Amino acid sequence: MLGQMQQAPLLLTDILRHALRNSANQEIVTRLVEGGIHRYTYREAGERIAQLAHALVEMGIGEGDRVAVIGWNTHRQLELYYALAGIGAVCHTINPRLGPENAGYVMNHAGNKAVFYDATFAPLAAGLAPHLPQVENYVELCPEGAQTQNGLDAKSYEALIAGKPSEYEWPGLDENTACAMCYTSGTTGKPKGVLYSHRALVLQTLVASLPSSLGCGPDDVCLPVVPMFHVNAWGVPYTALLLGMKLVLPGPGLDGKNLHEMIVEEDVTYALGVPTVWLGLLAYVAENNLDFGKLKYSLIGGSALPEKIIRGYDAYGVRCRQGWGMTEMSPLGTVNVEEPGFYDRPIDERIPEQVKQGKAVPFVDMRVVTPNGDRQPHDGESEGHLQVRGPWIIDTYYGFEENALTEDGWFDTGDVAVIHPDGQMQITDRAKDVIKSGGEWISSIDIENAALNHPDVVQAAALGMHHPKWDERPLLVVQLKPGSSTDLSAIQSFVNEKLPKISAVDDVQAVEEIPLGATGKVLKTKLREHFKDYKLPTAA
């Protein structure tokens, strides 16, 4: 027997409508690519989104068209998010750090009909143009007449929308209509496309916005440092409008100085980003004897949250919350939300809790399985491959025939994890990064975490290197503070003291700079190449 309630589709447009009627005077503040700060209200954003929708339709963009956007976190990209989704088109965000080859590949693969880009990325766009026969229009996200001179016959975004009607009659759409897409960063093989639906993003937004998930609310001032060019900036552009939060968009200013200025000047209380960004900001604030103003929480994910960051921010009264997710999960999977009274406990007791990835949010199911597919108990010890399912988790990659799931309908995350009895999930490693020593699995995350605690270590990566007896043993690669005189054997002792014997590293090597990938994470593939002829001293 079916219920007899209305069948109203879940659309991103409903979030926009809600924001406009209930929080019309709330602010959105942007650091502009062309310099200076831009500031407007939800109401004005709504008017410009409507104008943009008219312009898109006049440009020939319609239902199902994929439109590429290569840009920083700005109000203009926010407008593209809502206008494209609103007319039934697909906002295909491109990670400019993918590099021209991968960027060109995904734009062709997705069949982008138009490209919107920030001035910063004009050279990238111009270089790609000859290889993108299907693109009909280029639009630079810039004031009228300010287009970069680069041979692209690009329109200016501001000229494009100027004078268009500031209301739009959004069409009714099936809630499963595609609204956005994002490709994986292709650290292994070609990037693969994830095609998000309105339903998936609305549901993930509702769940992310719960006080038991991100834990931010209408009184917060929210700064997504996490880029809008990768997995919809973890959904913040939707969460912010749903809750009616003041939104602060950092544009191209992702360095310590610019971020610090935005946080303090705009009274940011809640920020989100990957660990590398928080390390940089922390160093800047410490070196310059500054503080974090009203910042209360930072949500950190994308790779493991190191103890060093937790302690560093804690000293300033900023609380670090860990989240875990992935492109294929829209991205939210878990958040580590503290129990009541958690912050009354001393930091040494808190650290072991805070380095966990967190509990699954509602409607995300998790399991950990052995390589044979047997389910592991949730005992905090039994490791295995982490698999997930739920309404905002991928079914099939774009353009693939077969779905991306196990036979029984779960998506394998590629991560290795344990689940604790209280529901906390803890990632040991990526399956491909796990160090396999004599049949045991060593977590590279644990080693890196220990290494980062050394005051002279700026960045760390643990790699499994061939060993004749144990199969693999850990090598620790570090990037030292400029001018540091610590010798590597001292670092090795420091690290090994903190680790269980089996995880003790066999050697430490230093590199000038540990390479980071397109999403700000350590690029182990590149490091492995660098060390391909290296032999462990223990392997003699």
Ligand X SMILES: Nc1ncnc2c1ncn2[C@@H]1O[C@H](COP(=O)(O)OP(=O)(O)OP(=O)(O)O)[C@@H](O)[C@H]1O
Catalytic residue list = 184, 328, 436, 441
Residues that bind ligand X (CB under 6 A): 184-187, 231, 301-305, 322, 324, 326-327, 357, 413-415, 427, 430, 519, 521
CB of 226 to a copy of itself, least distance (A): 20
Q: How far apart are CA 318 and CA 275, in angstroms?
A: 14
> What is the dihedral sign for C-alpha 455, 460, 465, 469?
positive
Q: Among residues 181 and 305, whose Cβ is nearest to a copy of itself?
A: 181
Among a copy of itself, ligand X, none, residue 301 binds (CB under 5-8 Å by kind): ligand X
Closer Cβ to ligand X, 170 or 229, answer by number? 229
> 479 CB contacts (<8 Å, ≥6 apart)?
457, 458, 459, 460, 510, 511, 512, 513, 514
Separation CA 412–CA 416 (nearest Å): 10
* CA atoms of 428 and 384, how far apart (whole Å): 9
Backbone conformation region of residue 232, classed left if phi is above 0, alpha if psi is from -120 to 50, else beta: left
Q: What angle do CA 96, 99, 102 make, to 5 degrees?
A: 100
Question: CA-to-CA distance for 43 and 261, rounded, in angstroms?
Answer: 26
Identify the burial level of 127 via C-beta atoms within 10 angstroms of its C-beta, where 0-12 means exposed, 13-18 middle and 19 or more buried: middle
We find the least distance from the C-beta atom of residue 115 to ligand X, in angstroms, to be 21
In the complex with a copy of itself, the residue whose CB is nearer, 290 or 405, is 405
| Minimum CB distance to a copy of itself smaller for 121 or for 397 | 397
Which of a copy of itself, ligand X, none binds 185 (CB below 5-8 Å, type-dependent)?
ligand X
Residue 239's binding partner among a copy of itself, ligand X, none (Cβ under 5 to 8 angstroms by kind) is none
Kind and range of the H or E run holding 186: none
- Point out which residues bind a copy of itself (CB under 8 A): 1-8, 10, 14-15, 17-18, 21-22, 24, 63-64, 90, 174, 176-179, 194-200, 203, 206-207, 209-212, 215-219, 242-244, 330, 337, 340, 359-360, 362-363, 365, 389-398, 405, 409, 411, 422-423
Choose from ligand X, a copy of itself, none: what does 147 bind? Cβ within 5-8 Å by kind.
none
Q: How far is the CB of 505 from ligand X (least distance, A)?
A: 20
Identity of the residue, 90 or 299, whose beta carbon is nearer to ligand X in the bound complex: 299
What does the chain come to in residues?
A: 540
> Which of the choices a copy of itself, ligand X, none does residue 243 contact, using the CB cut-off of 5 to 8 A by kind?
a copy of itself
State in angstroms the smallest separation of the CB of 383 from a copy of itself. Answer: 19
What string of DSSP letters covers 242-310? HHT-EEEE-BT--SHHHHHHHHHHTT--EEEE-HHHHHHHHHHHHHTT---TT--EEEE-SS---HHHH
Q: How far is the CB of 313 from ligand X (least distance, A)?
A: 15
How buried is 318 (Cβ within 10 angstroms: 0-12 exposed, 13-18 middle, 19+ buried)? Answer: buried
Nearer to ligand X, 415 or 472 (CB): 415
* Contact of residue 4 among ligand X, a copy of itself, none (CB under 5-8 Å per partner type): a copy of itself
User: What distances in angstroms separate CA 384 from CA 1, 274, 332, 418, one per listed residue?
Assistant: 40, 25, 20, 7
CB of 367 to ligand X, least distance (A): 15
> Of a copy of itself, ligand X, none, which one sits near residue 492, judging by CB under 5 to 8 A according to partner kind?
none
Q: How far is the CB of 314 from a copy of itself (least distance, A)?
A: 20
**CA-to-CA dists, residue 451 to 74, 316, 495, angstroms:** 36, 22, 6
Burial class from Cβ neighbours inside 10 Å (0-12, 13-18, 19+) for residue 44 reads middle
User: Could you tell me the strand order of the sheet in which 66-70 lies?
Assistant: 90-93, 66-70, 114-117, 137-140, 155-156
Nearer to a copy of itself, 64 or 468 (CB): 64
